[in-house]
Amino acid sequence: MDTATKPTRREERRIQTVREIKELAMQQVSQGGPEAVSLSGIVREMSMSPAAVYRYFDSRDALLADLVVDAYNALADSLVELESGAKSAKEHLDAVLRGTRTWALENPNSYRLIFQTSIGSGEDFAADRTIEASSRSMAVVVSALAAVAAQETPRASAETGLTQALAEWRQPAGFGEVAVDVLALAFLSWTRLHGVISLELGGHLSATGIGATVLFDAEVEFIRDAAAALSA
C-alpha cells in the first residue's frame, strides 16, 4: 500500500512556482551568464509582486545556489544511471567518461554555470550544499577508475606532490578507502576531460580542424589505459 502523502494544492502551487522561477533564471543564465540572474526581472516576467518572490528565495544568491545544486545533482544522477548497463569495469568507466560529455552537450547552460564560473565552486556561498553536490559526480568517476584498477594486484606508486596532497585530503573528503594513485588519476582525468568539454562548448577546437569527438575519444582511451596500468 502506498503511504506517500499527496501534496496539497498549496504545496503543488509552490512547487510549480519554484520550478518556473528556476526556469526563468536559467534563461537569464543562458543569455548573460550568472551575473544576469535578476529576481526583479523574474518578478516582472511572472507578474508577481516584488515581495512575493522572497517567499521562495530570500536572495539572488539563494536562487543561484539552488541552480548550482540542481545542476550538480542532475549530472551525478545521469552518471549513476550508467552503472546498470555496464558489462565490465572498463565498459562502466568508458560510459561514465563519455556520459559526462553527453550531459554537458545536452545541458550547456547548466554545465557553464557549475564548471565555467566561480558560482559552482562553493567558495562564494552555500558551500555546505554546493560542495556536497559537486562531490557526487566525482565519486562516480573515482569509483569507476578504482574498479578497473582493482582487477589486478596494485603496484607500488611513486610519491609526488599531488599524491602527498591527496593522502591528506582523501580522509576528510570521504575517499579514505581509495588508493592515492587512483585519486591522482581521477583528478588529472577530471581536469583533462573538462578541458576538452570547455573548449568544445566555447568553439575553440574548430580552428584546429580536429573534431571534438576525436579528441575526447583519445582522452577516454588514455584514461582507461592509465586506470588499467595502475594494477599492471
- Eight-state DSSP code of residue 157: -
pLDDT tens, position by position, for the chain (232 residues)? Answer: 455 678 898 889 999 999 999 999 999 999 988 889 999 999 999 988 888 899 999 899 999 999 999 999 999 999 999 987 778 999 999 999 999 999 999 999 999 999 988 888 877 778 888 888 999 999 999 999 999 988 754 555 667 899 899 999 888 888 988 989 999 999 999 999 999 999 999 999 888 888 999 999 999 999 999 998 886 5
Which CATH code of 3.30.499.10, 3.20.80.10, 1.10.357.10, 3.50.50.60 fits the domain covering 67-229? 1.10.357.10
Residue type, 36: A
Residue type, 178: V
- Give the cell for residue 46: 511572472
Per DSSP, helices labelled H in the chain are 9-32, 39-46, 60-80, 89-106, 108-115, 127-149, 161-173, 180-201, 212-229
- Give the cell for residue 60: 539572488
- Give the cell for residue 200: 568544445
Place of cell 562553493: 122
Vertex 112, ends 92 and 122: CA angle to 5°?
90
What is the DSSP secondary-structure string of 76-124? HHHHHGGGGG-SSHHHHHHHHHHHHHHHHHHSHHHHHHHHSSGGGGSSS
Alpha-carbon distances of 115 from 3, 5, 136, 216, rounded to whole Å: 40, 37, 14, 17
- Give the cell for residue 227: 586506470
